[in-house]
Structure 1
Amino acid sequence: MAVLVKSLVALFFFICVVHGGSSICTNEDLKINQVSTGTQVGGKAEYEVSIENTCSCVFVDIILSCDGFQTQEPIDHSILNKDGSDCTINNGNAIAPSSTFKFKYSWDQMYNFSLKNSQIACS
């Protein structure tokens, strides 16, 4: 039993050294939420999308799956750039730890965005 405990402690310290003592992040640490703003744009309901980084690392190159996404309200391509069924967020730039990136769109109904890919950068 003591050998098992020592092995687990050694593994824990190895993981901390490899990752610089920071927490290990996954794509699940990016939380995507939406709310209706209560505003109409061109006769369509407006929604605000929030992408929150709940990890202590930076996320870059965030791509959402957005096949079929449409908006009445123009969105600056540096904020959300649709390319086929992929939407690049924030021009591929970082979303810092404990921060939230937001954008708005308007359509007949709320679109169900999902995370397709991202890169995690820990120092």
Structure 2
Amino acid sequence: MPPYIHLSSHGLTSYLISFLKFSDKNSKDPTMACKLLCLLILVTFVSQGYGCDRSNLTLKQSKTGNLYKDVTEWEVRVTNPCPCDFKNVKLTCTGFKSVLPIDKSVLSKSGKDCLLINGQSVGYKSDYVFRYVWATSFNFKILDATIACP
């Protein structure tokens, strides 16, 4: 995956507008201005993080191989491949239980939902991992998250 490059949309906009003016005067191809304008819009959206949404977050579970009193330990990994952070990540947790208690700063349950890390950010190219102990894996799903772009 290529590294994320933060672009200043204002600086890029100024550059492309001056390029469009130059192209208009020196080109016989009227579609060039349209292509560059489309490129400008696309780059502006991407630089502002509009290419990211909650569906970019992934959640995977696996057995750790550890047992607690003959009960399986599970690892949950939430990964953010997006150049923006996600905060207030909420997971489904109806009926969720663990033999060992989970610190509320890691996963706090409220009704049918759970809030991950007290609503703090899951950053770009980072994983947030927590573990629980239960006989079977729980069907966690990402319900909601707030995008936070720089």
- Residue 64 (str. 1) matches residue 64 (str. 2): no
- Residue 114 (str. 1) matches residue 137 (str. 2): no
For residue 58 of structure 1, report the CA deviation from its aligned partner.
0.4
Render the CA deviation track for 1:51-108: whole Å, top value 9, x for unaligned: 0101111000000011111111111000000111101001100011000000000111
Distance in 1 between residues matched to 2:72 and 2:30, nearest whole Å: 61
Q: Which one-letter code corresponds to 1:114 in the other structure?
A: K
Q: Which one-letter code corresponds to 1:68 in the other structure?
A: G
8 Å Cα contact 2:45/2:51 also seen in 1? no
DSSP 3-state at the match of 1:40: strand
- In the alignment, what sits opposite 1:73? 100
Question: Which has the bigger relative contact order, CA under 8 A and spacing at least 6?
Answer: 1
- In the alignment, what sits opposite 1:25? 52
TM-score (ref. length: structure 2): 0.72
Give the greater-gyration-radius structure (CA).
Answer: 2
For residue 16 of structure 1, report the CA deviation from its aligned partner.
2.6
Distance in 2 between residues matched to 1:18 and 1:112, nearest whole Å: 34
- In the alignment, what sits opposite 1:44? 71
Going from structure 1 to structure 2, the CA distance change for 1:32 and 1:4 (only over 3 Å counts) comes to farther
Distance in 2 between residues matched to 1:69 and 1:117, nearest whole Å: 18
**What is the aligned length?**
122
Distance in 2 between residues matched to 1:12 and 1:78, nearest whole Å: 43
TM-score (ref. length: structure 1): 0.87
Q: Which one-letter code corresponds to 2:110 in the other structure?
A: D
Distance in 2 between residues matched to 1:110 and 1:45, nearest whole Å: 9
8 Å Cα contact 1:80/1:89 also seen in 2? yes
Q: Which one-letter code corresponds to 1:30 in the other structure?
A: L
Residue segments in structure 2 that go unaligned for 5+ positions in a row: 1-28
